[in-house]
Structure 1
Amino acid sequence: MIDLHGSELDEMIIAEKKQVAIEYHNEAWADGISDGIETEILAETAISTAVTELVRRYGETEVLDMIDSLRKRIEFGEFRHDRSLQ
């Protein structure tokens, strides 16, 4: 029998939802590419859609803080395709 505490179970559910979301995004991305939409257009519209939803839900100040955090992660190379995990 698996004994998971509430927070552990919540974390597992969130991780699973994120994995499914990634799969949805990858499928939509592949569909867009196969329809001839450039990656820059796909990326910009994905970011715009996400930011619009986040601002609607959390407000501009929270989203600006999130974007500042993302900027730092970009500067540290977190999103480089050639980065190595240690």
Structure 2
Amino acid sequence: MIDLQSAELDEMIQAEKKQVALEYHNEAWADGISDGIETEILAETAITTALTELVRLHGEDDVLSLMEGLRKRLEYGEFRADRTIQ
């Protein structure tokens, strides 16, 4: 029972951290746009920074696996701005 509660707490903490991280990214994105930086440049640098850090932490093979998962999600339309969730 305690392990389940601990796992649930850990999951809630991770969800909160992800929400705060998203808010930080959104704020930085908005600042970049207001400074006249094109969205393509912001996106490419964000991806490059993220991939560099992930490779540093987990190695190229793990990042390649992650990228394959992201590719599948992209193909399924998960990142489309106009997608509808049913």
TM-score under structure 2 length normalisation: 0.95
User: Aligned partner of 1:65: which letter?
Assistant: S
Deviations 1:24-65 (A, max 9, x none): 000000000000000000000000000000000000000000
Name the residue aligned to 2:40: 40
Matched pairs, number:
83
Name the residue aligned to 1:53: 53
| Structure with higher helix content | 2
Rounded to whole Å, the distance in 2 between the matches of 1:74 and 1:11 is 25
**Structure 1 segments of 4 or more deviating over 2 A?**
none
Uncovered stretches (5+) of structure 2, i.e. residues with no partner: none
Rounded to whole Å, the distance in 2 between the matches of 1:24 and 1:7 is 26
Q: Equivalent pairs: percent with the same residue?
A: 75
Name the residue aligned to 2:9: 9
Deviations 1:52-85 (A, max 9, x none): 0000000000000000000000000000011111
Q: Does 1:74 align with 2:71?
A: no
- Residue 9 of structure 1 and its aligned partner are, at CA, apart by 0.4
TM-score under structure 1 length normalisation: 0.95
Aligned with 1:83: secondary structure? Answer: coil
RMSD of aligned C-alpha atoms? 0.8
